Amino acid sequence: MSVARRYFLQLSAGMALAIAAHGCSQKPNSQESTNPSSAAENPGKIAIGFWPVASGLPLFVAEKKGYFKEAGLEVEVVKFASPNQVAEALIAGRLQGTGNGVASGVLGLAEITSPGLFKIITANPSDVDRVLDQVIVAKDSPIKSVSDLKGKKFAAGPGAQNLAIAQAILAAAGVTNPQVQQLEIKQHVAAIAAKQIDAAYTLEPTGTVGSLKGITRVLENGVVSKYILGDAKAPWFGGSAVLSTSFIEKYPATTKAYIEAYRRAVNDIRNTPDDTRQYLVGYTAIEGDLVQKVPLVGYTLYDEFTPEDVSYFQKFFDFMAKKGVFSKPVDVANLIYKQPA
């Protein structure tokens, strides 16, 4: 049995426990929203999970700039060590949604485990120019290309998506029998410095932190677009912000208010990226003046997807199914939120 398949089974087992817990742990929420349009819905506290990567920026901006509060919403952002933990909490009903940056592939696994679980409100495309994914090595490493990683100690972040991607990148570059260990992303730079690994498939802000500290350098950016989607400029929708379907159905007015507050944050990032980078501090590993060096990904709201976008998103999910991470195909179009008429 492959490592990816074992990880999928472990994740599925964790999600099954989460489903069981959900059945006996849900409690009514007595808190009330102050938003006149949604007060009657009584959504109470809205818990949104995130993974501490740079692409989670819209959630951080919306919270810090008070956009949720201005919409009359009480939103609690909750940090998790891995996207898998976010998905399990979503299934268990401990979360009502996720911020951007939570791995789309892990959310796809959650959809297989618990059909109809969520709808995507915003996804974050990246590529060689809108940098999120990258391979890093030591600053003085003799490694010049991904193909040089044959026989090297290579790491990826935790989760079935990260593992499958890392293996596929190496294989596409001609590295036979690739061996990948899973390691928390925040440990990648330190592990390279300590020579525990030679290289890592990682996500921003890790590459920026390592480079500016003089420890690592980026070997290549936009590796998923190049090696998996077949075009370095193809949009890879590697992370998504979602709301649970049950929340959407129970609280339609609150859902609309939440999405519009989130849209405000996305527009701030688009219009004033240098001003919004500061909100990465405290949520990710990046600190102080380093924040202005972090590259930003794109954001596509549910009503902005083009047919080409959906096609590339589907190509990634088809890759996940082909590699056996998904036990069956998942239709991306059905996962994208559609506002009621």
pLDDT digits (tens, 9 = 90+) for 58-97: 999 999 999 999 999 999 999 998 888 999 999 999 999 9
Please report, for residues 13, 153, 162, 163, 200, the alpha-carbon distance to residue 6 in angstroms, rounded to integers and kept in the order given.
Answer: 11, 21, 14, 11, 21
- Does residue 53 contact residue 204 with C-beta atoms inside 8 Å? yes
Instruction: Say which residue, 167 or 19, is predicted with more confidence.
Output: 167
- Does residue 79 contact residue 283 with C-beta atoms inside 8 Å? yes
Q: Are residues 74 and 143 in the same domain?
A: no
Q: Are residues 84 and 165 in the same domain?
A: no
Q: Are residues 82 and 20 in the same domain?
A: yes
Q: Give me the pLDDT at residue 289, please.
A: 75
Q: Report residue 117 as tokens.
A: 């679980």
pLDDT digits (tens, 9 = 90+) for 127-184: 999 999 999 999 999 999 999 999 999 999 987 788 999 999 999 999 988 889 999 9
Express the helix, strand and coil content of the chain in percent, nearest 5 each: 45, 20, 35
Q: Are residues 163 and 221 in the same domain?
A: yes
Which of 37-46, 197-206, 258-267 has maximum average pLDDT?
Answer: 258-267
Residue type (1 letter), 121 = I
Q: Give me the pLDDT at residue 12, please.
A: 44
Q: Give me the pLDDT at residue 26, please.
A: 39
| Cα 168 from Cα 162, distance rounded (Å) | 10
- Residue numbers of the domain that contains 268: 3-128+235-335
Q: Report residue 90 as tokens.
A: 């979503």
Q: Quick one: CA torsion of 124, 130, 131, 133, rounded to 10 degrees?
A: 50
| Cα 83 from Cα 300, distance rounded (Å) | 20
The SS3 of residue 102 is: coil
Question: pLDDT averaged over the chain?
Answer: 89
Name the one residue in this structure whose structure tokens are 């040089």.
148
| Residue where one domain finishes, among candidates 227, 243, 271 | 227
Q: Are residues 152 and 80 in the same domain?
A: no
Whether residue 27 has pLDDT greater than 60: no
Q: Is 326 exposed, middle or buried (0-12, 13-18, 19+ CB in 10 A)?
A: buried
Whether residue 122 has pLDDT greater than 90: yes
Q: Give me the pLDDT at residue 8, please.
A: 42
- Judge if the upstream peptide bond of residue 43 is cis by omega within 30 degrees of 0: no
Could you give the number of structural domains in the chain?
Answer: 2
Reported as a pLDDT band with limits 50, 70 and 90, residue 28 is very low
Name the one residue in this structure whose structure tokens are 């999120």.
132
Q: Give me the pLDDT at residue 10, please.
A: 46
Looking at residue 103, what DSSP letter applies?
B
Q: Are residues 305 and 331 in the same domain?
A: yes
Ramachandran angles phi, psi of 167, nearest 5°: -65, -40
Q: Are residues 41 and 110 in the same domain?
A: yes
Q: Are residues 97 and 213 in the same domain?
A: no
Is 66 a domain residue? yes
Residue type (1 letter), 278 = Q
Q: Are residues 100 and 20 in the same domain?
A: yes
Axis-axis angle for helices 83-92, 3-25 (nearest 10): 30
Do β-strands 74-79 and 97-98 pair in parallel, antiparallel, or remain unpaired? unpaired
Whether residue 13 has pLDDT greater than 70: no
Domain containing 300 — which CATH number? 3.40.190.10
Q: Which residues of 221-247 are buried (b: 16+ CB within 10 A; e: fewer)?
A: bbbbbbbbbeebebbbbbbbbbbbbeb
Q: Are residues 215 and 68 in the same domain?
A: no
| Residue where one domain finishes, among candidates 227, 248, 279 | 227
| Residue where one domain finishes, among candidates 190, 205, 227 | 227
